Amino acid sequence: MHELSICQSMLEIVEKTMVEHPNATLERIFLDIGRGSTVESTLLSEAFEVITSGGPYEGVELVINDIPIAGRCRSCERDFTYEEFALGCPSCGSTDIEIHSGLELDIKHLEINED
Amino acid sequence: MSKVNVEKKILSENDRVAIENRQRFSDAGALVFNIISSPGSGKTTLLEATLDRLADRTKILVIEGDVSTERDMDRVRAHGADGIQINTGGGCHLSAKMIRDVLGELALEAADIVFIENVGNLICPSTYDLGEDIRMVLLSTAEGDDKPMKYPSIFHEAELAIITKIDLLPYLEFDVEKVGTEIGVLNPECEVLELSALKGEGMDVWIEWIRKRLEMKRAACSAAGE
């Protein structure tokens, strides 16, 4: 359960970004979280609520873009997506595959209110 | 409502500190391992057996990560290692900053090898770069042969996987070949070794593996220093 420390790291980036917008209110934080990133979206949202409770970011919405594991089979050259890590290409069964996405743990952008 | 672009890895600060750590380790010419496994798979026992075979010719430092107690540090000290214990106080992984904060207390310049024994956990530590050269994962035969697919991330990230406690194979239904195949699919570059730290089987191959990597690291460090 490292979602709390992931949340702390995320908030450090948010705080640094918000310094440049001192009169704005933070409304939403947009994240890309890959299925293979070891971070669980529900736990991350819960951790975020706990960590922001009573502070300036209480009530801020966490918008998580849940990214499946996607790759390409080097044998049959088909692209595929997985909900979770799996063994081999879903089309031909080959184990000669490469993973392109699904490991993301990124903060993409913020939505702020400047009035 | 306006949009502010950020486009950063959430762990970018950890990654930045890890790069600093890696540079400090390289400046000292030390080969650094980050050892990850579930609790009880034999990380400390492997370190003890490794120290018994290397500590007379090789200067080894150990950084022990545990939620609490100095027990693991006491164990490896008894086998000839210097080092330091980090207690995370509930934290489920080590971070690059935790490593940076103890580097000043270690005689890094004299070290050939640094073993970082991460907190026993197969999930969380796999996300945190500490600045190591080699991320390795241990899987004991007693845990079952379904671990790579149940905890794929660490096997996807690791450069070396060691199947431990192979002396127990006669008493267990553990398919070594299946585990090797599944790790190979998750990560074709991951090497797989099998050993029993307690009985000694397979230890020679592991020690040889370390020696080779130490030579490679020294060659890389001296080339960088020239």
Under CATH, what is the fold of the domain B16-207? Answer: Rossmann fold (3.40.50)
Residue A29 falls in which region: left (phi positive, over 0), alpha (psi -120 to 50) or beta = beta
Interface touch B92/A2, C-beta < 8 Å:
yes
CA distances from B33 to A88, B52, B109, B205, B212 (A): 29, 17, 16, 17, 14
Closest partner residue to B1 (CB to CB) among A27, A36, A87 is A27
- What is the band of A1 on the pLDDT scale with cuts at 50, 70, 90? low
Q: Does B146 touch chain A (CB under 8 A)?
A: no
Closest partner residue to B13 (CB to CB) among A1, A12, A88 is A12
Interface ipTM: 0.89
Question: Architecture of domain A3-13+25-113 in CATH?
Answer: 2-Layer Sandwich (3.30)
- Average the pLDDT over each of A50-64, A94-108, B10-24 and give the range with the smallest value: A94-108
Contact (Cβ atoms closer than 8 angstroms) between residue B64 and residue B84: yes
Interface touch A111/B1, C-beta < 8 Å:
yes
State mean pLDDT over A83-99: 82
Q: Does A13 touch chain B (CB under 8 A)?
A: yes
Q: Measuring CA to CA, which residue among A10, A20, A18, A108 is closest to residue A51?
A: A10
Q: Does B88 touch chain A (CB under 8 A)?
A: no
- Say how many CB pairs under 8 Å bridge A and B: 96
User: Rounded mean pLDDT of chain A?
Assistant: 92
Angstroms from A3 CA to nearest CA on chain B: 9
Residue A59 falls in which region: left (phi positive, over 0), alpha (psi -120 to 50) or beta = left
Residue B83: the pLDDT is 95
Q: Does B189 touch chain A (CB under 8 A)?
A: no
Enumerate the residues of chain A whose CB falls inside 8 A of the CB of residue B129: none
Interface touch A13/B10, C-beta < 8 Å:
yes
Answer whether residue A14 shows pLDDT above 70: yes
- Domain positions in chain B: 16-207
Pairing of strands B160-164, B191-194: parallel
- Domain positions in chain A: 3-13+25-113
Spell out where chain B has E strands. 2-9, 31-36, 60-66, 82-87, 113-117, 134-140, 160-164, 191-194
Interface touch B127/A13, C-beta < 8 Å:
no
Q: Does A94 touch chain B (CB under 8 A)?
A: no
Tokens of B95: 């971070």
Answer whether residue A93 shows pLDDT above 90: no
Nearest CA in chain B to A34: B153
- Across chain B, which has 226 residues, the per-10-residue mean pLDDT values are 95 97 96 97 97 95 93 94 92 95 95 97 94 98 93 93 98 96 90 98 98 95 81
Enumerate the residues of chain A whose CB falls inside 8 A of the CB of residue B182: 87
Residue A86: the pLDDT is 74
Q: Does B223 touch chain A (CB under 8 A)?
A: no
Enumerate the residues of chain B whose CB falls inside 8 A of the CB of residue A97: 185
Enumerate the residues of chain B whose CB falls inside 8 A of the CB of residue A113: 1-2
For residue A100, the Cα-to-chain-centroid distance in whole angstroms is 15
